[in-house]
Structures are given as C-alpha cells and as structure tokens.
Structure 1
Amino acid sequence: MNYENIKFQIEHGIATLTLNRPDKLNSFTQAMHLEVRSALAAVQADPTVRVLLLTGAGRGFCAGQDLSDRAVEPGAEGVDLGHSVETYYAPLVMTLRSLPMPVICAVNGVAAGAGANLALACDIVIAAKSASFVEVFCKLGLIPDTGGTWHLPRLVGHARAMGMAMLGEKIPAELAEQWGLIWKAVADTALMDDAMAMAEHFAVAPTKGLAFTKRAIQASYANTLPEQLKLEGEMMRELGYSHDYREGVTAFIEKRTPHFMGE
C-alpha cells in the first residue's frame, strides 16, 4: 500500500518502520494504525527479514493517541475506548511480541502514553539522551493501556510502576536506563547509528535461536520453574537440529566467522 503516515522499507534483512507524522509528534490515528498493521504484515510474510527497527520521525518518537482523531465534544456521548484498545493497540502489541525476530525500538524523542508503551513492547529499546517516557493516562482519567500495566511492573518493579502510572511524571532516558526501563541511553547524534549497527548485527545472527529466546523469556512470567525447565528442554531439542547451531559449532571449531541463515 502507499504509506502516508509511516515510512517503511526492507533492505539486507532489516525492516525499518518509521512513524511519520512529525508535526503531530507521530501520534496515532486510525489511518496510521492501518498502515503500521500493513507494514507488520509485510514483515511477517517476508522470510528475508531478520530484524525490525522501529523509530519516529522528527523531534518525538510517539505522543500516543491523537486525541483529535476521536475527540469528545462538550455534552456529547463518550467514546468507546475499549474498542480502540481491542481493535488497534492490543493487536499491535501482540504482533510485536510474537514476531519471530528481534524488535529494536530507537526512541528519538518524547514517548508518551501509548507511544511509551509501544516502545516498551519491543525487545530492545535504545533512546536518545534527550528522549523521555511519560505515562500521561492519569492526567486524562485513564489507565496505561497498550500493555503498560503489564510491562511497567515487570520492567521497573511495583513502586516505580505505580509512581509512573499515577503521577505521570516525565522519566528522562538516562534515568529510564538506570531503572531498567530501557536497554540503553545514548547521545542524540549516535542514536540511529547505534540502532542500525544493532540491526545489522541481528540481520546476520542466528535468528531462530533469538526468536526462541524471546518466546522463552516471555513464557517465564507465567511458568513455574519446572514448567520453564521443560520448555527450555523442548526448545533446545529443536534448536539442536537447526542449521545455525551446526554452523555455529563448525565455525567455532574451524576458527572462522559463522554464516548464519536464521534457521
């Protein structure tokens, strides 16, 4: 499809998806949701894609929902926000988490509301030092959706999750790194170079093993230790027969760089 609200390309195993409404801090409209959904479907359908890099255009990553896209007029009936979550935001989070490849998020500026939680749904988050994360929902009488109530306590613990969710204070990128909310805060000028270098690393990495790692860590939140150990055994059994494991061992023995196929 022709994209008006995002930029999307696939090159050398790297899919790059850029939210592209910079004049609105890349806030989501229904049209942008549909374009993102289309791009992610293309990622899922293309066997050459080994990593997804998500970022934003301009001075912000994503300001969450564009409130003018579902404005509530004074005296008018309310808006069914549950429908919005169920139709757009929840499927978006689940798609990102289920992609059989690493998903990198390069946060280039403010990540607010659903934009913050969209970033946290990715596997590895790198942020410019000038970037920040803010759970603005409490200022509108709402809850942190887009997986916020699930990811926040798991990333930063109960106390900090409650503070972020109920106070709506801006968390600078360097503090977010200290808290474990994100992987790393880097100089603004280095953000995209560092993010692309990571994407290039993953584009030639053993993708199947990374996908299984992603699934295993996600499963650990619900599993008991015996259940997790069983899952690890099942995954290791399958990975032991993979091309990349054989190639990795052979390359190690032969003292050369492995040539992984992602399978």
Structure 2
Amino acid sequence: MKLIESGMVLLDLDDDGVAHLRLNRPEAANGMNVPFLRALYDAVMVATGQRGLRALLLTGEGSHFCAGGDVKTFAAKGEALPDYLREATAWLQNVAQGLLALPVPVITAVHGFAAGGGGLGLVCASDLVVAAESARFMSGAVRVGMAPDAGSSATLPQLVGVRKAMEILLLNPTLTATEAAEIGLITRVVPDDELQRTALDMARTVADGAPRALGATKRLVWSGLGHRVEAQLPEEARTVSELSGTADAREGLAAVLERRRPTFTGT
C-alpha cells in the first residue's frame, strides 16, 4: 500500500507489515534541509499511525544513504544560518525521537555515506543496521565548525563507548562498514549486491515475531538511556545554533563547497 507516493520522502506498507521509508533526494545525496526534514518527520508520523505496522525499513535512494546536512543550503543562509539551523535541528530531533519511540523495530540499510548529524544520527537512532561492504560512516560536524545533533552526542557513546565516540566526533575518521561493525555502531556487513535483500529479510523476520514483545523489548532497551537522550536534545540544539553563527562555521561550510582544507581561527 502506497502511503506517500511522491516527494523527498517515500513510504509504503507491505502486506506483511513492513513499512519501507525511503529518503528520496538523490541529487543532493539525501542531504537534509528544512523541507526534507519536515517531510521525513511527517512520514515517520504516518508510519506510526498504521494499524498493521510491524517493522520499519529505512533506506536512501541514489548513491548514498545520507550525506548529512545540505551544505549548499546552509552556506547560502549567511548570517541567517543560526535561525535556519535552529529550525532544522528541531525537525531532525523530532525525527530521531520519532524513530526511537516508534512502537516497532527500525531496520536501516546503509550504502554509500552515512555522514553528519543526519546520516550518522539516523543510524544511531535505529534498532538494527545493515551496511553494504562499501558503505562509509563519518560524523563531520566539527569539520564545519558545528556540533553533533539528532541525539548522537548521547546515543553514539552508548553504542560504541565514550573513548571511541570521542574519536569519531573529534577526529572525524571515515569508518568502513567493517570497522563500524567491529565497534558496535552497526549490526551487520554484507556484500553490496545483498544489502537490500538482507535488510528486507531482517525486517520481515522482525515482522514475523510477536509485535508486543518486540515493541516492549525495544522500549525497555532505549528507556535505559532514553532520559539521557531526551535531556541532551535541547543542549544540542542550542549548541548547533550558537556555533553556526561563528566565523569558523562559515569557513567550514565554504571549505566543503570549495573542496579545500578549512582554516579555523576560533571566532
């Protein structure tokens, strides 16, 4: 059943109860701007309201799962960037909270890059993550003079430990799928041509299970750290907005667009 047939986010629901949520901005590597984030939040809410929902499969169209924020849009905002990012961060946090609170497991399939607060944040807010062998993971926030969001400053340390989270967030290594699996960031690595089949099989396996037991198990696991995630969201939003108004943030965005190394001055 087609629930959202066109636009930047697509959603359908199979007869077996698996909802397929697809990021559909391939021309921008599924980069996130405010309209995209609003559409994504709406799709999560539509999925939440489906009586027959038993699992949600999250994928990205095009060459990448999600390259993070839409850098071109951010750079074009100039001095209005803090206000724009305040709105964008709010929608992204709503999306992350929606996935965490979804009463069924979320299975995410990653190909290409999962980067930034958007890409890595969605990975961290998922229950099970399957990645293609060629997939890559990166934070990237401090690279453009900003801070992590989507709750990842709380979820990432829980997934991989504080020391490894600090390395990922501060040094911005590009992790291979194998490295991501070894540290517990993702669930499984498969050959590229088996990604979609494996992720769908996993979603169908979940959908075959006892819905209330699976939903309760997910809730219990996340609630063990959920209060910490929720408490972190306002501080993340404030920090991202504050940093986006700095000269370093403007320099970081310009450096990405100009494909050069940024020169940060601390202002």
Relative to the length of structure 1, the TM-score reads 0.79
> How is 1:129-144 mapped onto 2 (pairs within 5 angstroms)?
129-144=133-148
Q: Secondary structure at the match of 1:111?
A: strand
Show the 5 A alignment for 1:100-179: 100-113=103-116, 114-179=118-183
Higher Rg of the two aligned structures = 1
2:19·2:55 contact (CA, 8 Å) conserved in 1?
yes
CA contact (8 A) 1:63 1:115 kept: yes
Alignment of 1:53-132 (within 5 A): 53-72=57-76, 76-80=79-83, 81-86=85-90, 88-113=91-116, 114-132=118-136
Q: Which of 7, 10, 16 matches 1:7?
A: 10
Distance in 1 of aligned mates of 2:39 and 2:77:
27
Alignment deviations for residues 178-223 of structure 1 (CA, whole Å, 9 cap, x no partner)? 1111111111011100001011112221011111101111122379
Shift of 1:73: 5.4
Give distance in 2, aligned partners of 1:141 and 1:214. 34
The residue type equivalent to 1:184 in the other structure is: R
Give the drift of 1:31.
Answer: 2.0
Number of the residue aligned with 2:202: 198
Offset from partner CA, 1:29-52 (integer Å, 9 cap, x none): 222222222221221111111000
Higher relative contact order by CA 8 Å / sep ≥ 6: 1 or 2?
2
Do the aligned partners of 2:159 and 2:185 also contact (CA within 8 Å) in 1?
A: yes
Q: Name the stretch that deviates more: 30-39 or 51-60.
A: 30-39
Structure-2 change in CA distance of 1:183 and 1:69 (3 Å): same
- Matching residue's letter, 1:5: M
1:215 maps onto 2:212 in alignment = no
What amino acid does structure 1 have at the position aligned with 2:215?
Answer: A
SS in structure 1 of the partner of residue 131 of structure 2: strand
Secondary structure of the 1:17 match is strand
TM-score if structure 2 supplies the norm length? Answer: 0.78
* Structure 1 position 32 matched with structure 2 position 17: no
**Whole-Å Cα distance in 2 between the matches of residues 208 and 73 of structure 1?**
45
Structure 2 runs not aligned, ≥5 long: 228-267
Give yes or no for contact 2:19–2:47 (8 Å, CA) kept in 1. yes
> 1:145 is aligned with what amino acid?
D
Task: Give the secondary structure class of the aligned counterpart of 1:146.
Answer: coil
How far apart in 2 are the matches of 1:188 and 1:34? 30
| Aligned-residue offset at 1:28 | 1.3
Question: Equivalents in 2 of 1:45, 1:191: separation in Å?
Answer: 28
Which of 37-46 and 176-185 deviates more? Answer: 37-46
For residues 168 and 193 of structure 1, what CA distance do their matches in structure 2 show?
A: 30
Count of equivalent residues: 221
